[in-house]
Structure 1
Amino acid sequence: MLADAQRDSGVDEPTRPDRWAWRARLRERRHTRITLRVCVGVLGTLLIVAGAITGPLPGPGGIPLVLLGLAVWASEFRWAHRLMARFKQVVRYFARWPRRRKVLAVGVGVLIGWSALYGGLWLNGIPAWLPEWVREPLDRLPAITPEGHLR
């Protein structure tokens, strides 16, 4: 009955039971339920933004932080829970692939990524904001100039 009323009112409340008693108590009152949803939304957003910022940096940062932010959102928002379930389904699908196909897929992905990077450098040139120790090896690549081919 309560789930039907929430569905009809457009409230995006998860209908699955809580695993934690503290969260069930917070959801009992409207005021604390809204506060919990706002806090979960802000924390998930901060994790996803941190993942986007740390993505290009070396080390684990980008994808794990984005997935953690999505998991935080999934604890409170049904749309994020469905998205996370879809992501898990895709991971299980790829996990069933034979090793040779996985290696080929990773190789093709790396080849596409490097081709996109090289094409961007060829078209736009080497960015002036890069440090000298990065620009110097890029300047030695064939057909890559600081000016690029679009100017």
Structure 2
Amino acid sequence: MDDSDLSPFQDAEGRWHRWRAHIAASPSLNLTYRLAVGVIGVLVLAAGVVAIPYPGPGWLIVFAGLGILASEFAWAHRLLHYARKRYDAFMAWFLKQSLVVRGLSTLLTCAVVLTTLWLLGTFGLVGTWIGLDYSWLESPL
């Protein structure tokens, strides 16, 4: 099979492997690359963990951070597969629960979001934008 028979994805994967092999051939460049992947992966993972209780893609960001780390670190690859299995099992369990349990979970999530927004001073800031100047809107921190 020559290069013209490859799909665009196979061609891109081949280029990626050649580029990565070139980096791996130089120990200092390889260390720098792995450190950069580690730092970026940890930052994305941390942002995902912070975003989990909020509406939106918190878990997706966590899995993206683990995916970045898993591209270079075997432990992260194992953790990614373990976390995906646990997440899928939890979601299967959660979807089987009664409407009351799911509703209480939604209320708890809303309480966490509102509390953290209040603690971060978001309500006080937005309140001043629209002319609401109540002391209870201000963060106690």
TM-score by length of 1: 0.51
Give the secondary structure class of the aligned counterpart of 1:76. coil
Name the residue aligned to 1:72: 68
Q: Which residue in the other structure is 2:3 paired with?
A: none
Conserved in 1, the CA contact under 8 Å of 2:44 and 2:65? yes
Partner of 1:34: 31
| Among candidates 61, 77, 82, match of residue 81 of structure 1 | 77
* Cα distance in 1, alignment partners of residues 64 and 116 from structure 2: 31
What is the alpha-carbon root mean square deviation over aligned residues?
A: 4.4
Distance 1:30 1:81 in 2: 22
Could you tell me which runs of 5 or more consecutive residues in structure 1 were left unpaired when the two chains were aligned. 1-18, 140-144
What is the distance in 2 between the residues matched to 1:33 and 1:71? 19
Shift of 1:21: 3.5
- Relative to structure 1, is the Cα distance of residues 146 and 86 closer, same or farther in structure 2, using a 3 angstrom cutoff? same
Task: State the percentage of identical aligned residues.
Answer: 26
- Structure 2 runs not aligned, ≥5 long: 1-15
Partner residue, 2:5: none
- Give the structure 1 partner of residue 136 of structure 2: 146
The letter for the 2-side match of 1:40 is: V
- For the pair 1:22 / 2:12, whether they are aligned, the reply is no
Asked if 1:107 is matched to 2:97, the reply is no
Q: Any conservation in 2 of the 1:127–1:146 contact (CA below 8 Å)?
A: no
Quote the residue 2:12 is aligned against: none
Tell me: CA distance 1:91–1:30, structure 2 relative to 1, closer, same or farther (3 Å).
Answer: same
Distance 1:128 1:118, change over 3 A: closer
In the alignment, what sits opposite 1:6?
none
Higher helix share goes to which structure?
Answer: 2
CA distance in 2, matches of 1:26, 1:109: 47
Q: 2:125 aligns with which of 123, 129, 138?
A: 129
